[in-house]
Amino acid sequence: MATAMPIPARCRSRSGCSRGRPAAVPGARTAGRRSRRTCPSPPATTQIRNRSRIRTPTSPGSDPALGTAVHPSESAPKTQRYVRSPGALVREGAFGVVVLGTETSDAVTLSGTAAALWDVLADPQTSTAVVDVLAEQFGLAPERVRPDVDSALEQLVQLGALERRA
């Protein structure tokens, strides 16, 4: 897998910046040259990522060439429940929920819909139940909510904040 390569972006100031990025406005010149004044903004970069195809298990009768693969969470048993990990450290506040899982030393801040997902998981839930509750809570179709919920659940499992149980 290729790593992300930073590409220098144009400076947002009219005069350019001390980092050597050209000015955003073509007419910002001093004595025929672009000015290199100090820019208070942090260096801006654009990330390019390698978007390789992800192979997923296919259901019987599906054709991988047509892109009808099954999402990994859909191939998991429907009775599988997600439970908050007893070893995870959690702090709730007005800012959201900060979770420190058992698998990594990085804390994650959950806010907005992610904090709502964490609240739903106060009791063991299946992914389908979580999708249904959040879809109803935010007035969205379950089909639209499912990919985001599945992704969030998988990330929380990888962090060690959640556990899967049968």
Residue 63 lies in a domain: no
How many domains does the chain contain in total? 2
**Residues 138 and 83 reside in one and the same domain:** yes
Position 21 scores a pLDDT of 52
The least confident of 41-45, 80-84, 126-130, 131-135 is: 41-45
| Domain assignment of residue 160, yes or no | yes
Residues 118 and 154 in one domain: yes
Q: How far apart are CA 41 and CA 65, in angstroms?
A: 46
Measuring CA to CA, which residue among 56, 55, 52, 54 is closest to residue 70?
Answer: 56
Predicted local distance difference test score (pLDDT) of residue 117: 96
* Tens digit of each residue's pLDDT (9 = 90 or more) over 70-114: 444 454 556 799 999 999 999 999 889 999 999 988 899 999 999
CATH number of the domain encompassing residue 120: 3.90.930
Let me know whether 144 and 103 are in one domain. Answer: yes
Range of the domain at 107: 78-165
The strand ranges marked E within the chain are 5-8, 29-30, 33-34, 45-48, 81-84, 89-93, 96-100, 107-110, 125-126, 162-165
Is residue 47 domain-shared with residue 89, that is, in the same domain? Answer: no
Taking only the tens place, the pLDDT of each residue in 5-14 is 444 455 555 5
| Selected residue with higher pLDDT from 121 and 75 | 121
